Copies of this chain bind each other. A is one copy, B any other.
Amino acid sequence: MDAGASQEEEIKRAKIDNGQQFLERLVPMMFDMIQDITCNRDSKVVNFLHPDEMQKRINFSIADGPCSNDKILASLKDVIKYSVKTGHPHFYNQLYGGFNAHGLGGALLTEALNGSQYTYEVAPVFTMMEKSVLGDMLKLIGFNDGDAMFTPGGSMANMYAINLARYQKFPVIKETGLFGLPKMCLFTSEKGHYSISKGAGFLGLGMDNVKKVKTDAQGRMIPADLEKQILECKAEGYEPFMVNCTAGSTVIGAYDPVEAIADITERHGLWLHVDGAWGGAVLLSDNLKYKVKGIHRADSMTWNPHKLMMAPQQCACFFTKHKDILADGHSANAKYLFQQDKFYDPSYDSGDKSIQCGRKVDVLKLWTLWKSTGKLQMAKNIESMFNCATYLSKLCAKTEGFRMVPGLENPECTNVCFWYIPPSMRGQEETPEWWARLAKIPMEIKKRMSQQGTMMCGYQPDGDRVNFWRMVITNHDNTEQDMDFVVKEIARLGNDL
Residue from B120, B136, B251 in contact with A62 in the complex, judged by beta carbons closer than 8 Å:
B136
Query: Are A367's CB and B450's CB within 8 A?
Result: no
- What are 23 A-B interface contacts by the 8 Å CB criterion? A48-B124, A49-B124, A50-B345, A51-B345, A62-B374, A66-B373, A72-B368, A76-B109, A80-B113, A86-B116, A86-B122, A96-B116, A111-B312, A152-B359, A153-B356, A163-B202, A175-B207, A178-B206, A179-B182, A198-B332, A314-B360, A341-B467, A343-B443
Query: Are B201's CB and A202's CB within 8 A?
Result: no
Query: Are A133's CB and B76's CB within 8 A?
Result: no
Q: Does chain B have a CB within 8 A of A217?
A: no
Query: Are A355's CB and B128's CB within 8 A?
Result: no
Query: Are B154's CB and A152's CB within 8 A?
Result: no
Query: Are A124's CB and B375's CB within 8 A?
Result: no
Q: Does chain B have a CB within 8 A of A452?
A: no
Write the A59-84 contact mask toward B (1 if CB under 8 angstroms, else 0).
01111111101001001101110111
Query: Are A207's CB and B83's CB within 8 A?
Result: no
Query: Are A203's CB and B206's CB within 8 A?
Result: no
Q: Does chain B have a CB within 8 A of A330?
A: yes
Query: Are A355's CB and B205's CB within 8 A?
Result: no
Residue from B55, B96, B113, B131 in contact with A128 in the complex, judged by beta carbons closer than 8 Å:
B55
Interface residue ranges of A321-358 to B (CB < 8 Å) = 330, 332-337, 339, 341-345, 348, 355-358
Kindly provide the distance from the CB of A87 to the nearest chain B CB, expressed in whole angstroms: 6
Kindly provide the distance from the CB of A451 to the nearest chain B CB, expressed in whole angstroms: 9
Kindly provide the distance from the CB of A265 to the nearest chain B CB, expressed in whole angstroms: 21
Chain B residue at minimum C-beta to C-beta distance from A66: B374
Write the A1-40 contact mask toward B (1 if CB under 8 angstroms, else 0).
0000000000010001011101100110011011000110
Q: Does chain B have a CB within 8 A of A260?
A: no
Write the A438-449 contact mask toward B (1 if CB under 8 angstroms, else 0).
001001101100
Kindly provide the distance from the CB of A405 to the nearest chain B CB, expressed in whole angstroms: 13
Q: Does chain B have a CB within 8 A of A372?
A: yes
Residues from chain B with a CB closer than 8 A to the CB of A136 are 61-62
Kindly provide the distance from the CB of A116 to the nearest chain B CB, expressed in whole angstroms: 5
Once the chains are docked, how many angstroms separate the CA of A121 from the CA of B344?
48
Number of copies: 2
Residue from B22, B75, B83 in contact with A115 in the complex, judged by beta carbons closer than 8 Å:
B83
Kindly provide the distance from the CB of A422 to the nearest chain B CB, expressed in whole angstroms: 17
Query: Are A360's CB and B152's CB within 8 A?
Result: yes
Residues from chain B with a CB closer than 8 A to the CB of A446 are 342-343
Once the chains are docked, how many angstroms separate the CA of A361 from the CA of B80?
14
Q: Does chain B have a CB within 8 A of A428?
A: no
Once the chains are docked, how many angstroms separate the CA of A344 from the CA of B443?
10
Given known A19-B102, A332-B201, contact A443–B341 (CB-CB < 8 A) = yes
Query: Are B67's CB and A372's CB within 8 A?
Result: yes
Interface residue ranges of A382-420 to B (CB < 8 Å) = none
Kindly provide the distance from the CB of A280 to the nearest chain B CB, expressed in whole angstroms: 15
Given known A174-B201, A201-B332, contact A114–B48 (CB-CB < 8 A) = no
Once the chains are docked, how many angstroms separate the CA of A23 from the CA of B102?
7
Query: Are A121's CB and B372's CB within 8 A?
Result: no
Q: Does chain B have a CB within 8 A of A245?
A: no
Query: Are A111's CB and B120's CB within 8 A?
Result: no
Q: Does chain B have a CB within 8 A of A194?
A: yes
Given known A177-B204, A206-B174, contact A357–B109 (CB-CB < 8 A) = no
Query: Are B312's CB and A358's CB within 8 A?
Result: no
Residues from chain B with a CB closer than 8 A to the CB of A72 are 102, 368, 371-372
Chain B residue at minimum C-beta to C-beta distance from A444: B343
Q: Does chain B have a CB within 8 A of A246?
A: no
Residue from B22, B83, B207, B345 in contact with A332 in the complex, judged by beta carbons closer than 8 Å:
B207
Query: Are B83's CB and A206's CB within 8 A?
Result: no
Chain B residue at minimum C-beta to C-beta distance from A106: B76
Query: Are B176's CB and A66's CB within 8 A?
Result: no
Residues from chain B with a CB closer than 8 A to the CB of A343 are 443-444, 446-447, 450
Kindly provide the distance from the CB of A117 to the nearest chain B CB, expressed in whole angstroms: 10
Given known A64-B374, A314-B360, A376-B65, contact A348–B102 (CB-CB < 8 A) = no
7 additional contacts (CB under 8 A) given A12-B477, A16-B101:
A62-B375, A83-B115, A83-B125, A179-B209, A202-B330, A341-B467, A343-B443
Query: Are A94's CB and B116's CB within 8 A?
Result: yes
